[in-house]
Structure 1
Amino acid sequence: MEEKRNCGCWGAIAQRIGGICRSSAAPRPSPNSIPKTSLVHDAAIEAQHLNASNHEMNAPNEAGVSVENSDKPTSGDNSHLQLLQFTFQELKIATGNFRPDSILGEGGFGYVFKGWIEENSTTPAKPGTGVTVAVKSLKPDALQGHREWVAEIDFLGQLHHPNLVKLLGYCIEDDQRLLVYEFMARGSLENHLFRRALPLPWSNRIKIAIGAAKGLAFLHGGAKPVIYRDFKTSNILLDLEYNAKLSDFGLAKAGPEGDKTHVSTRVLGTYGYAAPEYVMTGHLTSKNDVYSFGVVLVEILTGRRSMDKKRPRGEQNLVAWARPQLGDKRRLFHIIDPRLELNYSMKGVQKVAQIAYYCLSRDPKARPSMEEVMKDLIPLQDLNDLAYRSFRSSRSSQKASPQRGKSRR
């Protein structure tokens, strides 16, 4: 057992990849994928494919065949050796036999369970003791999920930043694939924006936007840039202090280096967040992440989902509906999340709308870098010009004006 634990995860992964991925047939085109002949990215396409798989958007001319060599980890260093290698039995005990009441969430990959382990160890701990962890379990029959599982270890095994979720370890046994992360007590931004009864305060929204921007800026600004490729509210997790951390690196991709302007890939991501030029061409750049960040900023501003079929026609695609109003001060305040009830900074809202507007530019070159976005957002956390104060002051002035007029007579 000790010999297996010390061999490192790449050895274990390599043993499994040969039998699981290489011998598997190429994945069939998804019935929900964008047709090969479709070269237009607009609201109609977004709505049509709203219920498509989050990770299956086939680029034109690729006919559902992946051009990525993502079966193998790309890391050449030994940082992965710092990860803990768990046995399936250890994680089974740590999560209480994967009991339903320990489920934290669910995705196309499978379930995420809450568990407890001893600090710096793979030993299970009693509930409420030791270190709380989140255990992601991959469905055994998920081929694409296995590739994403490998990518997750590859990137999070070597990338460390306060605004990235920390990967603690993994388990690979027979057909079992599990990942163990630090536990994020407040869940996802998606839950707070769209599913909680109490509205997320404006100050927290700004703090979360800044943290997420720092995470993306770190990925883009490294010696070997990384493109996140699946930036969305459900992948932004929050700790007790509402510090944002990016999670789920299954679709992350090494960015272009040297003279290269882009990376050509199979189009993967989530409808409503993917940049139009990426959907049309499969050309991946860091500006694709910037576009996705702009979508999330608009969700933060409006409290609306990027795609929502329950909305009236013309409002189902958030970007198509909101972007024309982001640059108009009068119209802007009509689209702000009504649940905030004027408890937001006037200047802050205007600046966030301006940043979002440029992030959502159709021309990728017109979009700012995440470093620029981060620097523009940071000062907004100190603004105190709350809208309800301005509204109250305006009403007081209106009431006082007639009285002054009477006194003159």
Structure 2
Amino acid sequence: MEPFNVQKFEYKKLVTYTDNFSESNYIGRFQFGKLYRGQIPNLAIARYLVVKIWEAIPETYNYKPGDNKLRLMKEIILLRHEMVLNHPGIVKLYGFCIDGEKLCVVYKVKAFDSVYNLIPKDGFTWLQRIKAAFGLASVLKFLHSGKSAFYKPFIVQNLDAAHIVLDEEYNPKLCDFGMISGGIFPCRRTYSDHQHVIGCYGYTDIDASSKGHCSNKQDVFAFGVILLSLISKRVYTEEDRRAGAPFVYEWAIREFEANADELNEATDFSLVHKSLAGESDFCPGDGHKITMLALECVVKAENERPTMKQIFRSMRKLEVVKQHADYVGANKVLCPYDPCDVDW
């Protein structure tokens, strides 16, 4: 049975749309496969796409038969639900493909690149990074807010910089929901479909996840890692994993602890990369504020981490957000299902 009323594509069509999954259309890996740009030819108005292909999991993650098909079906259910259908921070579903072992979904988005790919690049400016972070905070705040008495908050559980694509205006779009729970789904930690996977390397609170704990503070932790990466231009690579290098949040905590005695903790400490701090849109007071906000997200004790609503409010107080509110999206009412946008 085809899930909901979305287009079903033959795999050969996706080969055509992506120019045979060419290197020029390759965006990068996500936790369970690969992302490619695509375009439907011969249309009066160009239709730009992202094609996501599920694969057998690399050595980093355990894999069980049927995992990826279940993730695909759950994602289709989620993205067709009215609760998330119109949120600008969540990708729009265009279609899917189940062709033998080939499992794909197709999104309607003209993707510029992933946040993961852009983080270390000099051309990714301070203002663009703030726009990406603010947009991500907004969509997580939306997902974490209980939509009604019938639905609990969503928990993404595998938030990762590689799971966020930016369009050509640097608007972030969350594009993987392979481990989502809550909302219209039960907390899937009680089910067998991913008990053997605890999140994304470098973005996971290992202590909580390894105990089977299902909490939106896991998403807060991952958001903190992404925010640290955005401001410091650091990402955790496969080479880092193989070498046993510290995760971004471990590096950040060590930097803070090493400098705590030398700096005025109230105003001085900042992990903003010096090239970003030198940009015209950077406001010096924001460096310390955003650094400490990110560090609060990755503290070990879950109950000491802020909520996404608190994070969103804190980001709105940054000078760069105040001065560029229209550009970063701070003046937008994002979605009719988001009750939090009016409570600043």
Find the aligned partners of 1:173 and 1:277 in 2 and give their Cα distance: 38
Q: Which residue of 2 aligns with 1:106?
A: 29
Matched, 1:86 2:2: no
Structure 1 letter corresponding to 2:293: I
Equivalenced residues, count: 294
Equivalent residues of 1:272, 1:307 under 8 A apart? no
TM-score by length of 1: 0.63
Q: 1:288 aligns to what?
A: 218
Contact (CA 8 Å) 2:93, 2:106: kept in 1 or not? yes
Q: Distance in 2 between matches of 1:102 and 1:263?
A: 34
Aligned to 1:246: 174
Partner of 1:339: 275
Aligned equivalent of 2:158: 230
Deviation at 1:302, TM superposition (A): 1.5
Deviation per residue, 1:211-270 (Å, 9 max, x gap): 001111111113322111111211121111111111111121226999x9x955624211
Stretches of structure 2 lacking an aligned partner (at least 5 in a row) = 58-62, 324-344
Provide the C-alpha distance between the structure 2 equivalents of 1:278 and 1:353, rounded to a whole number of angstroms. Answer: 23
Q: How many angstroms does 1:295 deviate by?
A: 1.1
Correspondence for 2:51: 135
Task: After TM superposition, give the deviation of residue 315 of structure 1 in Å.
Answer: 7.3
Specify the code of the residue in structure 1 equivalent to 2:134. Answer: I
The equivalences for 1:39-54 within 5 A come to none
Separation (CA, whole Å) in 2 of partners of 1:353 and 1:341? 12
Greater displacement, 239-248 / 170-179: 170-179
Could you tell me which amino acid in structure 2 is paired with residue 205 of structure 1?
R
Which of 363, 366, 391 is 2:301 aligned to? 363
Check if 1:188 corresponds to 2:114. yes
The letter of the residue matching 1:169 is G
Match of 1:299 among 229, 240, 254: 229
The verdict on how the C-alpha distance between 1:96 and 1:376 changes in structure 2, with shifts beyond 3 A counting, is: same
C-alpha separation in 1, matches of 2:171 and 2:119: 15
Does the CA contact (< 8 Å) of 1:136 and 1:178 recur in 2?
yes
Choose from 69, 90, 104 the match for 1:164: 90
Residue number in structure 2 paired with 1:115: 38
Match of 2:141 in 1: 217
**What amino acid maps onto 2:95 in structure 1?**
G
C-alpha contact (below 8 Å) 1:228/1:289 kept by paired residues: yes
Q: In structure 2, how many angstroms separate the alpha carbons of the residues matched to 1:269 and 1:115?
A: 28
Determine what percentage of the aligned residue pairs are the same residue.
27
Note if contact 2:94-2:107 (Cα within 8 Å) is conserved in structure 1.
yes
Q: Which residue of 2 aligns with 1:50?
A: none
Q: 1:316 aligns with which of 222, 228, 246?
A: 246
Query: Residues 108, 298 of structure 1: CA spacing in aligned structure 2 closer, same or farther, 3 A cutoff?
Result: closer
CA contact (8 A) 2:141 2:309 kept: yes
Deviations 1:97-145 (A, max 9, x none): 444443333346443333223xxxxxxx249952011112333797332
Deviations 1:6-50 (A, max 9, x none): xx623xxxxxxxxxxxxxxxxxxxxxxxxxxxxxxxxxxxxxxxx
The answer to whether the 8 Å contact 2:36/2:50 transfers is yes
Does the 8 Å contact 1:88/1:176 carry over to 2?
Answer: yes
TM-score by length of 2: 0.74
Secondary structure, aligned partner of 2:124: coil
Matched residue of 1:301: which SS?
helix
- 1:270-327 per-position Cα deviation (integer Å, ceiling 9, x unaligned): 122112432331111111101111111111221122578669x997233233236287
| Secondary structure in structure 2 of the residue aligned to 1:357 | helix
* Separation in 2, partners of 1:315, 1:99: 32
> Among residues 159, 163, 173, which one is paired with 2:99 in the alignment?
173
Q: Shift in Å at residue 206 of structure 1?
A: 1.3
> Letter of the aligned partner of 1:105 in structure 2?
G
Tell me if structure 1 keeps the 8 A contact 2:268–2:288.
Answer: no
Measured after TM superposition, the shift of residue 354 of structure 1 is 2.3
What SS does structure 1 have at the residue aligned with 2:118? Answer: helix
User: Helix, strand or coil: the match of 1:135?
Assistant: strand
Kindly report the root-mean-square deviation, in angstroms, between the aligned alpha carbons of the 2 structures: 3.3
**Mapped partners of 1:88, 1:263: distance in 2:** 32
What is the CA–CA distance in structure 1 between the aligned matches of 2:16 and 2:185, rounded to whole Å?
A: 44
SS at match of 1:316: coil
d(CA) in 1 for partners of 2:288, 2:190: 36
Q: Distance in 2 between matches of 1:219 and 1:129?
A: 32
List gaps (5 residues or longer) in structure 1: 1-7, 11-79, 118-124, 385-409
Residues 92 and 107 in structure 2, CA contact (< 8 A), matched pair in contact too: yes
CA contact (8 A) 2:37 2:49 kept: yes
